[in-house]
Every structure is written in C-alpha cells, then in structure tokens.
Chain A
Amino acid sequence: MYVSRGGPGPEDAAARTERRSIPTQIIMTGRRLCHGVRNDTTRRAVLAAALAAGTVGLARSEAAALLDSFAPLSGDAWDAADRSLPETVESPHGDATVRVDDRGVPHVEADDEAAAYFAVGYLQAFHRLFPMDLQRRVMRGRLSEVVGEATVESDEFNVAMGFSAAAEATWDLVSETETGPLVEAYAGGVNAAMTAETLPIEFELLGYEPEPWTPADSMLMEKQISWTLTGSFAGLRRALVDDRLGADRAAELFPRRLDHDAPILDGDEERLGGDEEGLGADSRRARRGARDASLRGPDPVDPELTDWLSGFESPTGVGSNSWVVAGEHTASGTPTVAYDPHLSLTAPPLWYEQRVETPERSVRGATFPGVPFVIAGASDRATWSFTNVGADVLDCYRYEVDDSGDRYRYEGEWREFETETRQIPVSGGEDRTLETKRTVHGPFIEREGRHVGVAWTGHTATRTTLAIDELGRADGFEDALAATRKFDLPTQNLVYADADGRTMYYATGQLPIRRIDGEAVAADRVFDGSAGEGEWEGFEPFGRSSWTGFVPFEEKPHAIDPDVLSTANQRVIDDPIHYVGVGYAAPYRGARIAERLDAAVAGDEPVDPDFHRELQRDVRDGRAVELVPDLVAAVERRTEGDASENSDRLTGAAATLDAWDRRMAADSRGALLFDRWIDRFRRLVFEPAFAAVDLDEAYYPNDWVLATLPPDDPLFADRSRAATMVAALERALDEIDESGWETYGDRNTTAAITHPLGGEAPFLNYPALPADGSPATVMNYRVDDAVGSSWRMVVRPGEDAAAVIPGGNSGDYFSEHYDDQLRAWLANDQKPMSLDPDGDDGETVAFRGDSP
C-alpha cells in the first residue's frame, strides 16, 4: 500500500520526469510501471478484500442483529422512540372516544360496553404491552423462550403448577356470562394495538414479537396476582422448622397468634349472620390456628424442595393498608376510604390507571395490565379497595408413591397420576421436556426425586373477573355485596364505602375447611394425601368447583356499616368462626393506623382527605419505639467508665438514636442507624441457633417476635440481649462508615425500583431518589425487596377521588408519562382521579365502527 504524507502531486512528478534523459526515463518508467502496477494491484485487492470482508462479515455476524435493532436511522428499536396514539382506530364494536389526560390516564367513553372495553384493551396494550406479555410468559412457563437458560427453573415450576390450565377453566366459566363478551372485546383491542402500533422497545431488546392476546390470558393475570398474594408454602416451611427446632421451640419463635390487640375486627361488628352453632370443640381450636397435639402430620418435605418452592412465592412484605371512616366523622359527611397496596415496585408500576364511562358504569381506578376492569377504585357512587388477608388457601400433601413413580396411594388404592408432556422452549439453549403430574388434589410437583402435592384455591374456575366487573357497575350496597360473593380468589380484605353512607368490610375469597376424622383442623402443616387428610370438599382442580365444603359467605369475617375500620394485613379477628390462617403481618402498621384514626375521630376536627393522605405518609416505626430505649440503655451500661474511641463512637450513636423521633425519614441520621442496627441485631440473635440446624435467614422469625424476645430467651444464653444489642450497633456503625452513608435516604432509595430488563438496559430503571419509610411503617417501603406502596388513593364516594402511582402510567420508556409521578409518589402528592380530563394537550383517539 502506498502511503503519501503530503508528498508531490501529479504535476510535480511530471516535471521531474521531464528533466531526465529519454532513455533513462523509458527504462525507469518501465520498471516503475511494472513494479507499481504489481504493488497497486495488490493494494487494491487487499483494500477490496478488507471492505468486502468487513461488510459481509458484519452482515453475517451477531453484530448484524444489534445493528438491525440499534443502528441510527434504520434500527428497529428507534421506531419505539416515536410512538404515538393514532387519531382514529377502526373498532368492530362501535364508537368510543378516548382522551389521555396530562398524566397519561386514558378516559374511555362509549355508549356500548364492548366498544369501551375494546378501547381499554387497545390503550392498555399501547401503554403496557411488554409487562402484559412478560407476566403471561411467566405464568405459562414460556419465559425461557425469550430470556434463555436463566429462567428455566421458573418455567418448570409454572408449567408444573398448571396455572394456564386453571386460567382456561376460568375462561370457560366466564365466557358463559355477560362479562365474557367484554373480555373478548378487550382481547380484540389488545390484538388490534399489537398489529397496528409499533412495539415498545423491550420487544426489540429481547428480539421477539408477542403472540395474540386471548381472553384466557386475562384470566391468567387474575391467577398471577392471586398467586402473588396467596401462593404460600408456609406449611412446608413450618413443618421443616418444627422438625429442626422442635415443635415447642418453633411455637415460641413462630407463634400462630402474635400477642397483640390490634386485629382488624373487634368481634362486635354488625354481621349478616352465621354463627358457631354446630361447630365442635376441635373446630373452635382450629379456627384460632391452634393445633391438636395428638395430630402429628407426616414428616416434613425435603428441605431442598421446600427451599426451591419457596423461591416462587411472592416477595417478602407484600401487604397493604386500607381504612374507612364513616361519614359522621368526616368533614363532608360522606365516608372516606384510603388505600395503598404494598406490592412489588417495578418500572413501569404494576398498576395501570384508567377510567371508563358507559351508560352502565362510571368507574375510575387501578387495574393490572391484562385485566379489563378496574380492580380498586371508585365509581360515581362508591369506592372499594383490597388488602391481603394472609389466609391459608394452599395446602401441601405427601403421598405414598410406587416404585415406578406412575402411581400414588389414595384412600387404600393405587391411582395413576394424570400426566401430560410439556415442552419448555429455551432461547439459545436446549429445549426442555417436562412431564407434569396431577393427583386428585391438584398439581404434583417433582424435583430431583422429591415430591409434594399442592392444592390451591386458584387451581379451579373462579369468578373474580365477574366480581370486579360487577363492582364497577354496582348501584349501591346490595349490588356490591352480591359482587363480593363472587370474589372467589384471592382472599382479600375488601373495604367499601358509598355515597349513601354505607360502609363494609368483607374477607373475600374461598376459605377451605379441612377435616381429619371429621374434625376441622388448622392447615399450616403438610397433610397425608394418601390418607385423604384435610382435603377440600367441593373443590375440583382445573374444573368447576361447587365450593360446598368451604366457609359459607355469611360465616366469613365481615362487618356491615363499620364506623372506623382499618386493615394492614394483621390478624383479621381473634375469634373467627372458621380457621382463616396464621400468616398475618406484624401489627406495627395496623396498630399505628388504628391509633391515629381513633385519635382523629375522637378529636374536634372533622377528618378530611388531607388527614388520610398525611396518615398514608406516616413513617413512625413501631419497632424503634419498642427497641431503641433498650438499645440506648445497653450502650450506656456498656460504655460507662470506658473512654476508648469505640466507646465514644457508641455513645455518639446512642445519643443520636435517643434524640431521634422514631420516624424513618430520608433525611434522618437516627433512621439510618436504626435501620442498619436492626438488620444486624436480627442476624446476631437468630443466626447462631438457626445456622446450627441448617436454616438460613429466610426462616428467621418476624420483627415482632424479635422485638418481644425476653432477655432470658435461650437465644441469649451465650450473649445477653443487651450485649447483642451493643454488638449489633458496632457492626452497624462499621457498615455505615464503610458505605459512606450519612442519612437514611442515602441507602433507602428508589434505585431498588427496577425494570425487568434493567440489568441489561439500566436506562429503563427509575432514577435513584431518597425515599421515606421502612418495612414497619404505614408509608411502606422495603428497599431490600423492592416492595412498597404500589398505588395510593383517597376517595370520598360521590365526591372526589385522588391517587398517585409509583412511576408513571405509561410503560413506554420514551413517554413523558414513564416516570412523571415518581416524585409525587415519594411525597404522596396525589392527583385527582378526575371525571373531566385536564388540559387541552392530551391525546385523543376516536374508535369508529359499527356495532355487531
């Protein structure tokens, strides 16, 4: 290759040539020509080869896929940067008008319900198609098809559990009702958007296109959220803990009834009916969660299988707050409901806000993308909300299985498993084949030679979709009560109020009654499936259940027209008519809410929405109230007469904690000290005893137990409670010093709120902002689990409604509504859930077509 660096040009060369003699020129020129032609040809050939190889190589390499997606101008991913709703959409269900307000909330108006829900499907898909498809893939066990090997185990679990079959059974039931056509219209809207609109950027990042949405997929979303709220293998863990620690010690560390007096119901509320007549002594014992010592369950399921299954439960801390104050205590004279569900915090948020106006309904509020109807929100006459009960609606069974593994023993005879062979496609890996099995009770989960049977109330046709559809159309209390009867799944604390002044609390969801030898028993245990122990009468896995053996509606915990009532996942009632469960939350939030509500209604000032919003922002930590005085006293005793540097450090920290107001505020140093201290204290208290029996921190008791452990508890045998507290503070200070944190908000940030693809594409995550709140505060935020208030609303039925979402209503990264509510959410600065869309700059979509 010739490389000339500013050398002579063609004219200079010609002049030099002229000065030479003709023979010499001829000779030299001839030589140069031959040599030059040879070299130049080589150079050109090399360059041509490099250009061709570079171009063809790029086109044929893996880089081509990247360039296809992200090359400037032509990259498919950039199409997603310019998505906007069309002005008109053809609808097979007739006309509808959608106005997207200045917070990205769609307001759908139509004369025909199906036309409205076609538009709802279109808008949900436009804003949230990727999360919809992702959840669908998770529940169907098709995640590895686009993600690869990393999610194979998740797919194996979800396929084995048969969620998709349960969704199909549910759709089979729903399709026969008047709700069915609305779900079909919704699915049609989703598919219309999928076809007509540019896909969100996530599909380009993963390199796939979604399959058409089906009505059964919407039923699958119901199963998904229900699993998140009630899918618990606590019975397996309890059996393991009993085995490892001994039943008596386990009963002390994991009490079936936490010692507090802040249940949701006092027991003197007005009821529809239902009583205890006819219940035997064992039933009364069972209902409190107590266990009959004479009834010993089968041996615990293998710990590896227990751990594996526990990995597919909901994250720690899923719960919620809700409360209602009757009109006689409010400024306007109408009841008020406040609500904030604590679920996984993700980008985009789990919830999607929408409003639908038809001649049959006027409803606004939050739903999960994929679900057509508002789940929690307000109509023009009422408002309703749901928090998790913590009810026990999943049972585990052990079976005697024959050597071939094809049959199980059931009530004295061998039965063949119902089997099905399923494929799990794996992107970039070897596809898996899984043989699923079922027993008379439900899915039979096998892993590495270990097995357990599962029965879950979601594994049958459920009417929850009908219930939430009817709640949105309810015209008063009786309609709402009728809708509540159909709310089969999940078990939720429904809090309701309407413009007529009616209020209601009802524990929704089907509650199984388990019997052994005819007597009702508690269910936090593993049942002997081969002996037919504890099985649910009237339950048909993957079919239609009659629910005949379940708790009658009138006998579920409820209260009609309660005056002031709050729920925070604590124990529902001290004396339920039937066993509900033992998986209740520690009462910190519940006690704090009740305390402040009682004080408010006892005061002279009427309670207004601002009070409720301020209460939702309450960050006083009940754990700190209990523990900090003891910690400060322990430090004082430990440092008395000690002038060392460590002593000064401890004394300074104790002084900060002593002066601290127990509020988990982002700008608080005391909150940071307490947060890190209780984490270390928990580990120091439980780790030695639990590690000795091979139980990790997932098995540690809750913080209520930690805070109330007496100084003479065996856990403090080797190191006193006070010494453990001081040691924990030393470790907490070490961690804080190493990390460079100054205040709580340095650690407690929204960096925990990530997008499912945020690891590979971190730009999709939300920005890191300091956050208030802890796992034990009313304003709930669990930075370690990315769980917290996933929606906050305050509603005065028939008057006004306000809400805020943790992030934004759009899942489109390029949309201004991707995270436009994040800061408002941190401050609980709620926006109106308006009946009249604000501003003139919102998008409007006209759905046009003839009704069928």
Chain B
Amino acid sequence: MSDDGSGEGSGSTAQPSPSPFARIRREPRRRAVALAVVVVLGLALASVHWLALVAAGAAASLVAPTARRGVAYALSVGALALVAFAVSLGPSAASLPEMTPVVYVAVAAVFGLPLLGSLARGIV
C-alpha cells in the first residue's frame, strides 16, 4: 500500500496523474475539515445502512496523508461510530457488554467495515 503521503508510489514518477486528494492530504487544515465532514456524513449514513461504515472508512482513509494513517483514520471512524452507537442506545447501552454473542457482531462491524473501506487509500 502506498505510504507516500500524496497518494503516489514510492517513486513520484510511478504516479501517472496526481491524486485528487493530494492537496487535502498535504494541508492539515483542509484535512481536518474533510475528516470532520467524513465523520459527520459517515455516521449519519451509518444510521441508515451498515455499508455507510465501509464508505466512511474509505473516505476517512482517502484524506489521510499516509496509508498507515489512513487505516488509523478508518479505525477512528469506527471508534466514533461505537461511541455514537452507545449514546444512541441511552441507558440500554449498559446492557451491551452482556449481550453476547450479538454484541460481537456489532463490535466486529464497527471496526471491520471501516477497515475494509480503508483499502481505498491504496487505490486513489
């Protein structure tokens, strides 16, 4: 997976065209704004369908300066989704740890789906 910060290969000449995310990846302020938008939109859509967690993981990783950080961004989106999930349950969230095995599905999904999406960082 590319880790050159611009979305290009280890040699800059290996990239036939610059990444459309290059500027966002380079500039921390733009990156932060983009990430915030991704998180908000991602969580909003994740309340509609779980595929949004894949998309949110993908989008978060795409604005990351490196692929490794892309993975970290995706997992962070998952963590935020978990927090949002617990908050959405209200007092019932206290029951979650006891709800085996279905809680395993929830935890696996909240981290696994964004992680799957982070593969996008190696594509664009």
Contacts and interface: CB of A to CB of B under 8 A. Distances in A.
B92 A82 contact: yes
Given A66-B105, A75-B106, A10 B82 contact: no
Contacts of B1: 1-3, 43, 47
Contacts of A692: none
A50 B121 CA distance: 12
Given A10-B8, A47-B123, A55-B116, A33 B51 contact: no
Contact of B81 (A10, A51, A73, A763): A73
A72 interface: yes
A44 interface: yes
B70 to A, nearest CB: 12
Contact of A10 (B6, B43, B90, B117): B6
A18 B45 CA distance: 48
Contacts of B82: 72
A53 to B, nearest CB: 10
Contacts, number: 143
B24 to A, nearest CB: 16
A323 interface: no
B21 interface: no
Nearest to B99: A763
A813 B12 CA distance: 57
Given A4-B10, A9-B5, A51 B105 contact: no
Given A2-B1, A55-B116, A73 B88 contact: yes
Contacts of A37: 14, 16
B89 A55 contact: no
Contacts of B106: 70-72, 75
B109 A72 contact: yes
Nearest to B84: A73
Interface string A51-62: 100110011000
A36 B85 contact: no
Given A29-B13, A44-B123, A67-B109, A75 B50 contact: yes
B13 A33 contact: yes
A33 B15 CA distance: 8
A763 B85 CA distance: 19
A13 B13 CA distance: 9
B119 A47 contact: yes
B46 A73 contact: yes
B117 to A, nearest CB: 7
Interface string A1-44: 11111011110011000000000000001001100110110011
Interface in B68-121: 81-82, 84-85, 88-90, 92, 95, 98-103, 105-106, 109-110, 113, 116-117, 119-120
Contacts of B5: 9-10
A77 interface: yes
Contacts of A32: 11, 13-14
Contact of A40 (B15, B52, B103): B15
A81 B51 CA distance: 22
Given A7-B10, A40-B14, A72-B81, 4 more contacts: A2-B9, A2-B10, A37-B16, A72-B46
24 contacts: A3-B3, A4-B4, A10-B8, A14-B12, A37-B16, A43-B2, A43-B122, A47-B1, A58-B116, A70-B102, A70-B106, A71-B53, A72-B109, A73-B50, A74-B46, A74-B52, A75-B50, A78-B88, A81-B92, A81-B95, A82-B88, A82-B90, A82-B92, A814-B95
Interface of A: 1-5, 7-10, 13-14, 29, 32-33, 36-37, 39-40, 43-44, 47-48, 50-51, 54-55, 58-59, 66-75, 77-78, 81-82, 205, 761-763, 813-814
What are the 8 closest A-B residue pairs judged by CB atoms, nearest first? A36-B14, A71-B50, A72-B85, A81-B92, A4-B3, A70-B105, A47-B122, A51-B119
Interface of B: 1-6, 8-16, 43, 46-54, 58, 81-82, 84-85, 88-90, 92, 95, 98-103, 105-106, 109-110, 113, 116-117, 119-120, 122-123
